[in-house]
Amino acid sequence: MRFPEYFQNSEKPVISFELFPPKTDVGMRTIRQRLLPNLAKHNPSYMTVTYGAMGSTQSKTLEIASLIKNEFGFESACHLTCVGSSRADINDILSKIRDAGISNIVALRGDPPQGSDTFVVPQDGFAHADGLIKHIRTTEPNDAPFGLAVAGYPEKHIEASDLNVDIQNLKVKIDAGGDIIITQLFYDNKAYFDFVDKVRAVGIQAPVIAGLMPILSAKQIQRITSMCGATIPPDLAAKLNTAIDDDDKAEKIGIDQCIAQATELLEKGAPGIHFYVLNKHTHMAEIMSALPL
């Protein structure tokens, strides 16, 4: 199935997971033997696999996405970014994705490679995700289009001047051919619902899937949110400050917070939740068992 099909007359929320490719063979075995079997128990609609910049783990993206679909029987999606790739490179990757029987792509500009502060447009490549999306739409077979997800930012992209400008950029991506919107992580549901209202106000009708990252470490989530521009509400920040050096306590706080956040989102009509699982599964078992699904 392609992304938009999951949200057409769906009677239940669409739940999905995001994984990242490990850098080692041991990590790959862990994904195959432990992570995927345990995530599969929760019967997600699909799983997506992130994309290593500058070739660091790109081949593993397709390998894991193929594993999810062909061995575990779930739909999967490859992330695809503009970083370090020419049009010819993109065409080669698209061909491999199609040959693997994968029907969905998460199309992103991508972050600058580690150690770089700014995005550099590749030679004969794309400066923004809308260019990548247009290229996919104009080169794919008419009888077998990809399902395309794009990123949305409830608290704006960290490089955007303001949220309204960022939402206009989002509209450009949808108008170029994006099917669904998966949001950046957030911890205040008001930010999500306000974002959906603003998105609808500019004429975007694509489903807006809430992206949630359960907290596993206070220091880790402080680092992640500082990099992406997401905010931690004061009450949650105060709880996490009591667990700065205690990851077990932070994980418990994170699980409780994620259950409460996801429950409210589902009860108030979010069409789906996309969990950034950080290649862990034990916390997801607690979260999934508590949700009103």
**What whole-number distance in Å separates Cα of residue 14 and Cα of residue 22?**
26
Look up tokens 């996490």; give the residue.
240
Retrieve residue 201's tokens.
């106000």
Please name which of 252, 174, 184 lies closest in space to residue 215, comparing C-alpha atoms. Answer: 252
291 and 266 Cβ atoms separated by less than 8 Å: yes
> CA 150, CA 201: separation in Å to the nearest integer?
18
Q: Catalytic annotation on 18?
A: yes
Which residues does 50 contact at the CB level (< 8 Å), separation at least 6? 18, 19, 20, 21, 61, 79
Tokens 């370090």, residue located: 84
Closest CA to 18 of 81, 64, 84: 64
**Rounded Cα distance, 16 and 207, in Å:** 14
If DSSP codes are grouped into helix, strand and coil, which group holds residue 222?
A: helix
Residues 6+ apart with CB under 8 A from 159: none
Nearby residues of 127 by Cβ (< 8 Å), 6 or more positions away: 82, 109, 119, 121
Both tokens of residue 263?
A: 């429950």
Distances (CA, A) of 44 to 123, 187, 200, 258, 267: 38, 22, 27, 17, 19
Catalytic residue among 11, 18, 63, 251: 18
The residues that are catalytic are: 18
